[in-house]
Amino acid sequence: MDLQKFSPWNWFRSEGHDAPPAGEARGGELAPLTNMHQELDRWMDGMMRQFGMPSPATRFGEMPELLRPRLDIAERDNDYRITVEVPGVEEKDIKLSLDDNRLVIEGEKRQETTSKEDRYQRVERSYGSFRRLLDLPSDARIEGIEATFEKGVLTIIVPRSGEAASSRREIPING
């Protein structure tokens, strides 16, 4: 019996594979250095929060939470609809690619130019690169993926092969 059919698809299982989970050593001799780095990160997070600043990433290779674009994934009969919020990012600064059966969304939010006269009192906006990695389900037809970009929202349509729809049936509820 294939139990995978009963659990929801994990779109994010590959995201974060570049970095070890928190607390996991990167080899025996580096464990003390990893622990020290994590402790310094915790201390820095606390200090930054005291001054109302966003905390940096706490794991090696992890992007700060502020740069990670939020997304919605909707399952429909014929396709999956993925919408990604990327305010302040231009279409030319977004790259979409496939790596095996994974959809890679990469981009960069660039800072506007500033003059020497600018003396910031507070900076809340963040700039830099981002990357999201989505594992596509087995019924995704990767050859038909399409994307559009409008008003800071990237919309990706991933067609479905129909295999999942044919095995789905509605169960009546008796009351």
Q: Are 136 and 101 in contact (CB under 8 A)?
A: yes
Query: Residue 17: is its pLDDT beyond 80?
Result: no
Query: Residue 164: is its pLDDT beyond 80?
Result: no
Q: Which class would CATH give 64-166? A: mainly beta
Separation of alpha carbons 61 and 56, rounded Å: 11
DSSP calls for 143-161: GG-EEEEETTEEEEEEEB-
Render pLDDT for 85-139 as a digit per residue (tens, 0 to 9).
Answer: 998 889 999 999 999 889 999 998 876 666 677 777 776 667 788 889 999 998 9
Query: Residue 155: is its pLDDT beyond 70?
Result: yes
Query: Residue 65: is its pLDDT beyond 90?
Result: no
Q: Please compute the mean of the pLDDT values over residues 129-157 and round it to a whole number.
A: 93
Separation of alpha carbons 39 and 45, rounded Å: 10
Prediction pTM value: 0.60
* Among candidate residues 92, 50, 88, 43, the one with its CA nearest the CA of residue 67: 88
Q: Which residue has the higher pLDDT, 129 or 19?
A: 129
* Among candidate residues 10, 140, 4, the one with its CA nearest the CA of residue 78: 140
Please give the pLDDT value at position 37. Answer: 73
DSSP calls for 33-46: HHHHHHHHHHHHHH
* Among candidate residues 99, 94, 100, 81, the one with its CA nearest the CA of residue 146: 81
Long-range CB contacts for residues 33-36, cutoff 8 Å, separation at least 24: 34/60
Query: Residue 12: is its pLDDT beyond 90?
Result: no
Query: Residue 27: is its pLDDT beyond 80?
Result: no
Query: Residue 18: is its pLDDT beyond 80?
Result: no
Please give the pLDDT value at position 74. Answer: 94
* Among candidate residues 108, 104, 76, 114, the one with its CA nearest the CA of residue 93: 108
